[in-house]
Structure 1
């Protein structure tokens, strides 16, 4: 078997293979004999059809089928002979299949880049350190109270932070339009979640007021038939409400999972949660810096086939995170998130995956099963009373368990890289650390 390799550029390789005519003929003969065992041809008993007749009837088909099977079986041999490492499935181009002649095919694919790790001892990271203060705990409790607030009617004029309950009818050139009317609509003033002109017009109003207001729709408004137009809205203010943060009473404490200990136990639980979140945020910041340093010191070409797969995976993940009513079909998803928008991040992910694999190989790292078990316990603990069911679900779901194992192995890689890194600590405010981490997430 003759094998030659061409390099069209980058990581692409073109493998040209020629299978000897004898091997092709043997494969075709075997295929014809198998067909002949069951062929039903008038004038002949099954299994007794002369070879010449079988070739006349099935020869062309047998050659095509044998050629396809030969390519599948020969391709691994050709790869081994060429000493290449394909990074994805090949594109096969089959030559003309002629009787008693060699069979040629071309396989085009990407190969893995050759990686020689550099700069592992030059990694420098800054680890943020934040103290959880009593003020942080109190602020968090206030935020929880606000998240569980109720609304109470007031007789004063409305202001930002209030909620206005309104009926409205919108018209363009005197004609009502679809979606332009509503009843008992709750508008939280100052949150800018409603039509800006209408929301601003609701500030300073009292329950029972009626007024008109012109509302301009932006040029990029979602409803194209309204974009760039101005509508007149007739508005009736039915109620004005002010927020009332939740009282820290027995019901509130039970909702927070506090059965005993009262406010002190709530503060203790909130502090523990903040400290855990701060540790996670600091670890995430360190991990990001470490990966940036690894990537920056080792720029590599990445296989285009792997980038394409990563782009598709990222697009599917993004679509799954959207509300069900906003999810798109495949073509619409590509228009919403084109390859170009995802390429840079996909290339980075692929490069880091290859670099991490090289670190694992070079440092001879093995998966720490105890860390896997501890990670599973940590994940399950977040589900409270359902922790045991969650652990069983992981154990019974190979794909989920593989994801958990990959997460732990990545942590082991980070730990190994940090052994030779320069790590300095920097004191930061808790809000700064947590807000940055939430934005990155």
Structure 2
């Protein structure tokens, strides 16, 4: 076997492989002899069909099978001998495939990039410092009360925060438009779930009132045929309802897992959960800054096969998130929606793998168990969660990957200048959300410019 490797890009290789004709012919003959043992043809007993007849009828099929098998086997041998690390499957095509001639075929493949990590030394990282206050806890309790509030009909004018039950019909240039009507719709004033200006004009309305509302659709409205258009909505108000907040009593507290309804335990549990949530927000914000810096100084070629794998995974996640069903064909979702973000994820994954390798980072079963125990604290039976994870190799692998990523980020963080910034609980969560939106927007912008 003769092998030549051509570098066509930093991550693409074109391998030309030649196999002597005698090897192919010998393998084809052996295949035909095996075939002849089971051939049934009129006028011949099984196993006694002349080889000339067998070759004429089955020769091409036998050669196709042999060539296909030889190409796969020799490709694997060639990349092993050449020390190539493929990323995904190759494209293999024969270039010379004639009886009596040496077989020649070409395999085009992508390999994992060779990475020489550039340091993020000197990068400025902002790290929020958050202390959950008693006022934060009380605000969270108020939020929980609102989430569990009941709506009671009132004989009063609608105010901000009230719920109105309405019928409405929208018109543009005196013509009804599709999607512009509903009956018995419940709308919370101030929820900003309707077109700007719609909800505000319902303040002061009472049950039985009929109102004509003038609004303008935003220029960036999702339905392009309505964007920027002026519209009139005829609205009939059926009822006005107001929230009745539950008392923070034992019955209310028991809903959140504090079985004895103790007030102090309830507040302590809320503070514990908020502290954990704040810590996660801080870690995520710091991690994102580190990863952004790592990507910025390490522009590396990314194998398209890995990007496609990540894209397919993101499609499946999206289908699951939007409840499209297990039978939904995710190939219907366009790659363009996911590719840029998938490329960024693959780039980060390759760089972190290099950080892990360079620093010989690892996580044993004790570390995995400790991490699972930490994650399990928020569940009712933590020990059961730990046992389940530790008995499942796939889940253990996922946790190990998360630990190694944390260790890699911590190692990178040693190269940076960390500036602590005091924030409230709400500010920390808002900053983390803003960071996530900025990263998503940046990826969308990169995709649009591409």
- The TM-score, its normalising length taken from structure 1, stands at 0.87
| 1:420 Cα deviation after fit | 5.2
Query: Could you tell me whether the CA contact under 8 Å between 2:285 and 2:435 is conserved in 1?
Result: no
| 1:427 Cα deviation after fit | 2.1
Residue from 370, 392, 403 that aligns with 1:408: 403
Query: Could you tell me whether the CA contact under 8 Å between 1:171 and 1:180 is conserved in 2?
Result: yes
2:29 corresponds to: 29
| 1:332 Cα deviation after fit | 4.3
Does 2:431 correspond to 1:432? no
| 1:73 Cα deviation after fit | 0.9
- Give matches, 1:13-412, under 5 Å: 13-119=13-119, 122=122, 125-169=125-169, 181-196=181-196, 198-213=198-213, 233-260=233-260, 262-324=262-324, 329-330=329-330, 332-334=332-334, 338-339=335-336, 341-385=337-381, 387=382, 390-391=385-386, 393-395=388-390, 397-412=392-407
The one-character-per-residue Cα deviations of 1:308-338 (angstroms, maximum 9, x if unpaired) are 222232233233222449x97545421xxx4
Counterparts of 1:170 and 1:418 in 2: how far apart (Å)?
55
Query: Could you tell me whether the CA contact under 8 Å between 1:32 and 1:62 is conserved in 2?
Result: yes
- The secondary structure found in structure 2 opposite 1:205 is coil
Counterparts of 1:163 and 1:195 in 2: how far apart (Å)?
16
Change (3 A) 1:66 1:437: same
Instruction: List runs of 5+ in structure 2 lacking aligned partners.
Output: 437-450
1:6 corresponds to: 6
Give the aligned length: 435
The one-character-per-residue Cα deviations of 1:375-403 (angstroms, maximum 9, x if unpaired) are 22233333314x45544554565443332
Query: Could you tell me whether the CA contact under 8 Å between 1:3 and 1:81 is conserved in 2?
Result: no
Query: Could you tell me whether the CA contact under 8 Å between 1:64 and 1:97 is conserved in 2?
Result: no
Counterparts of 1:198 and 1:289 in 2: how far apart (Å)?
40
| 1:354 Cα deviation after fit | 1.3
Query: Could you tell me whether the CA contact under 8 Å between 1:126 and 1:286 is conserved in 2?
Result: yes
Counterparts of 2:124 and 2:222 in 1: how far apart (Å)?
46
- The secondary structure found in structure 1 opposite 2:253 is helix
| 1:250 Cα deviation after fit | 2.0
Counterparts of 2:314 and 2:215 in 1: how far apart (Å)?
38
Instruction: List runs of 5+ in structure 1 lacking aligned partners.
Output: none
Q: Once superposed, what is the RMSD of the aligned Cα atoms?
A: 3.0
- The secondary structure found in structure 1 opposite 2:240 is strand
Counterparts of 1:411 and 1:431 in 2: how far apart (Å)?
24
- The secondary structure found in structure 2 opposite 1:384 is coil
Change (3 A) 1:414 1:224: closer
Counterparts of 2:169 and 2:13 in 1: how far apart (Å)?
65
Counterparts of 1:347 and 1:372 in 2: how far apart (Å)?
29
The one-character-per-residue Cα deviations of 1:78-124 (angstroms, maximum 9, x if unpaired) are 11233322111001112342112111111111111111223165565
- The secondary structure found in structure 2 opposite 1:256 is coil
Change (3 A) 1:310 1:150: same
- The secondary structure found in structure 2 opposite 1:99 is coil
| 1:18 Cα deviation after fit | 1.0
Change (3 A) 1:291 1:150: same
- The TM-score, its normalising length taken from structure 2, stands at 0.86
- The secondary structure found in structure 1 opposite 2:338 is helix
